[in-house]
């Protein structure tokens, strides 16, 4: 028979105050607002609390300060390595400022994104959204209720941090043009993606200036499988070069082309976007437009905390981060001419399923 001993009651704030010789309100301030308590007194209170095994109640602290020191971080797809890196740097920046994050995967669903954010509003101090699929009006409605920063999307009236997709695409097109490619096909990502629209627009403009044929096929899911499916449709639209919405799609395109008997880069050059880890691990290594994900995450948290601390939000225009083209093994000199229509732009519908 097991003998049970009575459990000692957990120490309370009153126990800490009694042993430290201070008022309970002083103990509360020492944990919730340490800057408002004498440094020596605060140190003594923390030492007593540690000896007694006392832990401040975070819920009670939140009620007393109206701050939970929690930030919601919403991303579109947790399996996408772009978001894995972005979340890492966002979390580190929040942690350095004394905040923790609540991570939510919206699974590319604007409905799930909106419903989840509405449930989180009462329990977080602010929101960081990466590549939202919600409408502009829905995002502005959320922003009116809680401080918010949007990453990878420009939204008037809401603090935003984006990468320079226009310049990045321009560099990619110039690189392919310099390799004598005359036709470039863009493999599009989600229709709801702001970045996708910007990249296609930049490709059209650069292609027009450089007298190149540009085509768009899609939309496709922004995944390896989406790129694989796009490769199946590329056979109907001969091309010597492909630029994909992101790295996973570009790698899917490469594998799909190989299955069809085409070699990369000997027959078709392929470029991705974001320079995620996988772009360096595949063979051939992927030429890609590198996004400064560390700076994006840190800047988003910095801007959000500034608003939480009373600063006026910068909402007139997005904060634009520079990008760079990283040339690897998936692009090469064009060895053949594609069968192309007259110079111009072609938009070919596809499937995102």
CATH number at residue 57: 1.10.260.40
pTM comes to: 0.77
Q: What is the DSSP string of 251-304?
A: HHHHHHHHHTT--TTTT-EEEEEE--HHHHHSSSPPEEEE--HHHHHHHHHHHH
- The H-or-E segment that residue 243 falls in is strand 241-244
Question: Which domain-ending residue is among 65, 82, 104?
Answer: 65
Residues 338 and 201 in one domain: yes
pLDDT of residue 286: 98
How does pLDDT run along the chain (353 residues), one tens digit per residue?
455 545 667 788 888 899 999 998 888 778 766 667 888 888 898 898 888 888 766 555 555 556 788 999 999 888 888 898 999 999 999 999 889 999 999 888 888 888 888 888 888 999 999 888 888 888 888 888 899 999 988 888 889 999 999 999 999 999 999 999 999 999 999 988 889 999 999 999 999 999 999 999 999 999 999 999 999 998 777 899 999 999 999 999 999 999 999 999 999 999 999 999 999 999 999 999 999 999 999 999 999 999 888 877 666 678 999 999 999 999 999 987 654 444 345 555 444 43
pLDDT of residue 6: 56
Spatial separation of the C-alpha atoms in residues 269 and 165, rounded to whole Å: 20
Q: What is the DSSP string of 93-144?
A: HHHHTT-EEEEEE-TT-HHHHHHHHHHHGGG-SEEEEES--S-HHHHHHHHH
Question: Which domain-ending residue is among 22, 40, 65?
Answer: 65
Spatial separation of the C-alpha atoms in residues 186 and 95, rounded to whole Å: 38
74 located within any domain: yes
30 located within any domain: yes
Residues 201 and 99 in one domain: no
CB proximity list for 279: less than 8 A, separation 6 or greater: 247, 250, 251, 272, 285, 286, 288, 326, 328
pLDDT of residue 272: 98
pLDDT of residue 353: 37
Question: Which domain-ending residue is among 27, 47, 65?
Answer: 65
Residue in this structure with the two tokens 């499916």, named with its chain if needed:
229
In the DSSP assignment, the letter for residue 154 is -
Query: Cα-Cα-Cα-Cα dihedral of 124, 129, 130, 135, to 10°?
Result: 150
Q: Which range of residues forms the domain containing residue 52?
A: 13-65
Residues 29 and 44 in one domain: yes
Phi, psi of 120 (to 5 degrees): -85, -20
Reference 54, options 25, 26, 12, 17; nearest CA is 12
pLDDT of residue 54: 83
2 located within any domain: no
pLDDT of residue 1: 47
In the DSSP assignment, the letter for residue 313 is P
133 located within any domain: yes
6 located within any domain: no
Residue 133 is encoded by which pair of tokens?
């699929």
Residues 192 and 266 in one domain: yes
Residues 186 and 229 in one domain: yes
Residues 246 and 303 in one domain: no
Residues 257 and 159 in one domain: no
- Say whether the peptide bond before residue 10 is cis (omega within 30 degrees of 0): no
201 located within any domain: yes
1 located within any domain: no
331 located within any domain: yes
In the DSSP assignment, the letter for residue 16 is H
Residues 333 and 193 in one domain: yes
Reference 130, options 301, 275, 305; nearest CA is 301
Residues 120 and 180 in one domain: no
Return the bridge partners of 161, or none.
151, 319
Residues 269 and 172 in one domain: yes
Cβ count within 10 A of residue 79: 11
Residues 202 and 339 in one domain: yes
CATH number at residue 273: 3.40.50.2300
Residues 183 and 303 in one domain: no
Number of domains within the chain: 3
Spatial separation of the C-alpha atoms in residues 240 and 333, rounded to whole Å: 10
- Say whether the peptide bond before residue 219 is cis (omega within 30 degrees of 0): yes
């Amino acid at each position: 028979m097991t003998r049970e001993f009575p459990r000692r009651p957990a120490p309370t704030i009153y126990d800490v105050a009694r042993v430290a010789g201070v008022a309970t309100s002083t103990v509360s301030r020492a944990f919730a607002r340490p800057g408002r308590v004498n440094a020596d007194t605060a140190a003594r209170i923390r030492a007593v609390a540690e000896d007694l095994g006392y832990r401040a109640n975070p819920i009670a602290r939140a009620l007393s300060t109206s701050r939970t020191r929690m930030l919601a971080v919403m991303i579109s797809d947790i399996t996408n390595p772009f978001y894995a890196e972005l979340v890492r740097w966002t979390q580190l920046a929040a942690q350095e400022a004394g905040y923790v994050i609540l991570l939510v995967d919206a699974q590319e669903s604007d409905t799930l994104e909106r419903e989840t954010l509405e449930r989180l509003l009462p329990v977080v101090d602010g929101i960081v959204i990466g590549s939202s699929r919600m409408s502009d009006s829905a995002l502005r409605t959320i922003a009116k209720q809680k401080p918010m920063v949007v990453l990878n999307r420009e939204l008037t009236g809401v603090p935003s941090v984006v990468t320079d997709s226009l310049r990045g695409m321009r560099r990619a097109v110039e690189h392919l043009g310099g390799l004598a490619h005359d036709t470039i096909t863009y493999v599009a990502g989600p229709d709801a993606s702001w970045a996708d629209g910007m990249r296609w627009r930049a490709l059209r403009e650069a292609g027009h200036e450089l007298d190149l044929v540009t085509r768009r096929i899609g939309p496709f899911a922004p995944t390896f499988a989406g790129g694989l499916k796009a490769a199946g449709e590329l056979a109907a639209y001969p091309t010597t070069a492909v630029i994909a919405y992101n790295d996973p799609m570009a790698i899917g395109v490469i594998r799909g082309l190989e299955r069809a008997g085409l070699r990369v880069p000997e027959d078709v050059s392929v470029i991705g976007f974001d320079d995620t880890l996988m772009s360096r691990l595949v063979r051939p290594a992927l030429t890609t437009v590198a996004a400064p994900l560390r700076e994006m995450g840190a800047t988003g948290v910095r801007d959000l905390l500034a608003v939480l601390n009373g600063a006026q939000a910068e909402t007139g225009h997005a904060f634009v981060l520079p990008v760079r083209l990283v040339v690897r093994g998936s692009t090469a000199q064009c060895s053949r001419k594609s069968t192309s229509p007259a110079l111009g732009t072609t938009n070919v519908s596809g499937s995102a399923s």
